[in-house]
Amino acid sequence: MAPSRCHRLLLPTTMAPACLALVLVLLLALCAAPAPAHAARALTPGRAGAVTKAQQGGSNATAAAADEYLTPHNQARAAVGVPPLRWSADLASTAAAVVAQQQRQVGCAFVDMGGSPYGANQGWASYRARPAEVVASWVAQGRYYTHANNTCAPGQQCGTYTQVVWRRSAEVGCAQATCAAGATLTLCLYNPHGNVQGQSPY
């Protein structure tokens, strides 16, 4: 794909794999078509390929990366009166192993986390997205969420947002993989997991 065409795509998801296959087709179509102006900052759920980084570097680099993930999570939680998440090095290393495997085996496609005990938010970007930017794309789904009746606007996705603000989730760990073409796959794992059907996040 021509880098200029999908240069700024950022795709958040908590979707099930079956849905992702559909979105992948959509994404490829978007990338293949002449760049529509509105795709410049497209924020749709999707799937795609990527390679690894994130937990590299010394402890300072790791701490800085953790803050980049954690701070926007906890700002979004504070905004609705939910206590902060704490960083889990164990979840971060699990996430790092998962995205590394995605990179090696399936070109950084979104991960099927259906069998995981953890909550999982993912984001694929066609460029080297900063962690804070990816988390911001999850938080941005909150604009479609109505807490009063615990619903998401028709045709929208709110799952990455509701996981971010899920009160009973206590800890998070994240990692990112970088693909050959410069795309990134980002994964955050949450324990305990959120998005329990029929329950309100907070």
Ligand X SMILES: *[C@@H]1O[C@H](CO)[C@@H](O)[C@H](O)[C@H]1NC(C)=O
Contact status: 146 vs ligand X (CB under 6 A): yes
Strand 184-191 to 171-178 pairing: antiparallel
Contact status: 149 vs ligand X (CB under 6 A): yes
Under 8 Å between Cβ of 174 and 180: no
DSSP three-state, residue 80: coil
Positions in 33-72 near ligand X (CB under 6 A): 60
Stretch that binds ligand X, among 66-74, 87-95, 144-152, 181-189 (CB under 6 A): 144-152
Residue tagged 């996040």 (tokens): 201
Sign of the C-alpha dihedral computed for residues 154, 157, 161 and 165 taken in this order: positive
Residue tagged 């078509």 (tokens): 33
Stretch that binds ligand X, among 40-48, 147-155, 166-174, 177-185 (CB under 6 A): 147-155
Task: Please give the size of the binding site for ligand X, defined by CB under 6 A.
Answer: 5
Contact status: 151 vs ligand X (CB under 6 A): yes
State the minimum distance, in angstroms, from the CB of residue 79 to ligand X: 18
Q: Tokens in use for 190?
A: 């949450």
Binding-site ranges for ligand X (CB under 6 A): 60, 146, 148-149, 151
